[in-house]
Amino acid sequence: MEIDPRRLRFLVAVARSGGILAAAEQLGVSPSAVSQQVARLERETGQALIRRTVRGTLLTPAGATLADAGEEVERTLNLAALRLDAAGAALSGTVRVGGFESFLRTILVPALPRWRLQHPDLDVIVTEAERDVLMRRLRTGHLDVAIIETDADETAQLPAGVVEHHLLDDPWRVVAPVGALESADVEGLRGSSVPWLGVADSEASARAIARVRRGLGLGGTVKHAYFGLQTALALVAAGEGVALAPALALQGLTPPGVVVLEVDGLGVRRIVARHHESRGPTPGPAVTVTSLVSQEAAAHGGADPLG
């Protein structure tokens, strides 16, 4: 079996966006181009990789396996590019990094003691804030690196002079009261009488959760409204409803009475790092710190509360 790795990005785009049309828009090509590349991948592998439904395009198990490989290739190339940019650059000075709670808690902050030992002349200052605040501080120069979450099918609208590096795809999980669902799949969610928990509109994940529920036809009533994940988990543990949460955010937080379920078709949230383009002959400290962050994200790529 010979697979042309250049075609993998088309399948990855379909996996992230949930459809051929959305993938085409994401890649800036025609829908027929996406279909043709996926069809060629199917001929190369000898297996069906996608199946079309009334609610969008879903990956088959073989397609999901191949898309995972494509994302790994993307991460590896991205990390290599960062390392090349950072090669020879002195790891010194103060770099202000902003991010959101789950990434800071599980990936960045645990790395700080090791970075202090390895790079004693580097001082990383961490700020936690919401996405809009992070981007505003990046634009005004109050942050050097902003780590944000984006929806899987979101087209990046970057300010002038700002570049983006993909760090991690974080899969969505269902969190439900123990015994609340008859089956741990989409049909179990559709047939459940347990209400969904509402997400405050200001929460960055609200758009992604709405897309996932709409795409899978997950109707039902909505009860309560939460902002923080710990509040959502407390409500789930109390039997008040079910919710969607990213796997990374669930690490170390799942309380008794809550079950975490992997359900096909939930998709991912994308985690990216943004910083201003380097000016001058050598990369700036933001590039070198982004390289360190990317290495940490790559090392945590397989972490999952299910495992």
Residue-wise pLDDT tens digits, 277-295:
876 555 577 888 888 898 8
Average pLDDT over residues 35-59: 84
Residue 128 confidence (pLDDT) above 80 = yes
pLDDT digits (tens, 9 = 90+) for 295-306: 899 887 644 444
User: Average pLDDT, stretch 135-155?
Assistant: 87
The string of DSSP letters for the chain reads ----GGGHHHHHHHHHHSSHHHHHHHHTS-HHHHHHHHHHHHHHHTS--EEEETTEEEE-HHHHHHHHHHHHHHHHHHHHHHHHHHTT----EEEEEEE-HHHIIIIIHHHHHHHHHH-TTEEEEEEE--HHHHHHHHHTTS-SEEEEEEETTPPP-PPTTEEEEEEEEEEEEEEEETT--SSSSHHHHHT--SPEEEE-TTSTTHHHHHHHHHHTT----EEEEESSHHHHHHHHHTTS-BEEEEHHHHTTT--TTEEEE--TT--EEEEEEEEEPP-SSS--HHHHHHHHHHHHHHHTTT--TT-
Residues 200-222 have pLDDT tens digits of 876 767 877 888 888 788 877 88
Report the predicted TM-score, pTM, of the whole model to 2 decimal places.
0.70
Structural domains of the chain in order of their starting residue, each with its CATH number: 5-80 (1.10.10.10), 91-169+269-299 (3.40.190.10), 170-267 (3.40.190.10)
For all residues of the chain together, what is the average pLDDT?
84
pLDDT at position 135 over 50: yes
